[in-house]
């Protein structure tokens, strides 16, 4: 059940979406460092090199450098020769205490960044409690420590936004219903708009997780362009 506070947040986001945000699916893809996660892999590598990243001497497809204050390795994943994912992995491992701090700091940074919203508004807090035994949970309970967010649209076009949203609403309601809205209908319209909006946002997913490596830990961050991800078309 979504609580009142979350409901109000949903309402404000839906209103923003209806009146000020446009999404051209083929154009509005997720970005990494301002670069669309899309197109040819070799072009993506050159764009990242222009940002200061360098090729790994043992694997020219892996880049290394600094990201968000940490030394990282960057991997580029493709599907049907199109870039669909950027993976940013910590180059250095750390102990359990430090990885917990790093994970929670990342959660706080994404939470405070207006370019992102949590993938789950009903459970938006992904932080790890102080008394959590990460090593035990990973080994014994096979628990995954991860947090997921959606990157908000980069383009604004209020006319397109209102037209597209109106089309969505007219697929469910009549013109008469939209002109004479009851309180119950308004609530239902909010949830309809919210579901549509979140489906669009889910195509621009950023998530990160804790990985274990011989008793040490590091974080991997994934920037996913879901428009380019495999969807069973090759089966």
Q: What is the pLDDT of residues 181-190, one digit of tens each?
A: 788 887 787 7
- Mean pLDDT, residues 118-137 taken together: 91
pLDDT at 156: 45
DSSP3 helix / strand / coil % (the chain, rounded to 5): 35, 30, 35
Query: Is there a contact between 147 and 208 (Cβ–Cβ < 8 Å)?
Result: yes
> What distance in Å separates the CA atoms of residue 38 and residue 95, rounded to the nearest whole number?
35
HSE of 43, CA atoms in CB hemisphere, 13 A: 10
Which residue do the tokens 């109000």 mark?
8
**118: helix, strand or coil:** strand
Show the tokens assigned to 38. 């899309």
Kindly tell me if the per-residue pLDDT of 157 is higher than 80. Answer: no
Higher-pLDDT residue of 2 and 206 is: 206
Query: Is there a contact between 145 and 134 (Cβ–Cβ < 8 Å)?
Result: yes
For the chain, give every domain's residue range.
4-225
Q: Global pTM?
A: 0.80
Higher-pLDDT residue of 179 and 36 is: 36
- Return the DSSP state at 128: P
> With the CA atoms of 125, 70, 41 and 204 taken in that order, what torsion angle do they form, in degrees rounded to the nearest 10?
20
Residues 6+ apart with CB under 8 A from 174: none
């Amino acid at each position: 059940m979504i609580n009142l506070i979350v409901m109000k947040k949903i309402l404000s986001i839906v209103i923003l979406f209806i009146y000020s945000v446009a999404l051209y699916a083929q154009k509005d893809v997720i970005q990494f460092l301002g670069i669309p996660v899309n197109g040819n892999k070799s072009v993506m590598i050159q764009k990242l090199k222009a940002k200061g990243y360098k090729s790994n001497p043992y694997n020219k497809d892996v880049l290394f450098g600094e990201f968000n204050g940490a030394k990282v390795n960057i991997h580029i994943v493709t599907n049907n020769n199109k870039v669909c994912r950027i993976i940013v992995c910590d180059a250095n491992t750390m102990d359990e205490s430090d990885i917990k701090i790093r994970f929670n700091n990342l959660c706080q940074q994404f939470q405070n960044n207006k370019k992102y919203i949590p993938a789950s508004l009903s459970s938006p807090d992904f932080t790890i409690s102080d008394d959590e035994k990460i090593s035990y949970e990973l080994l014994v309970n096979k628990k995954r420590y991860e947090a997921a967010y959606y990157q908000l649209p980069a383009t604004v076009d209020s006319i397109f936004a209102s037209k597209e949203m109106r089309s969505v609403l007219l697929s469910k309601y009549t013109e008469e219903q939209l002109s004479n809205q009851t309180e119950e209908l308004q609530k239902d319209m909010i949830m309809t708009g919210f579901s549509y909006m979140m489906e669009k946002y889910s195509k621009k997913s950023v998530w990160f997780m804790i990985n274990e490596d011989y008793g040490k830990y590091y974080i991997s961050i994934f920037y996913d362009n879901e428009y380019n991800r495999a969807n069973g078309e090759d089966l």
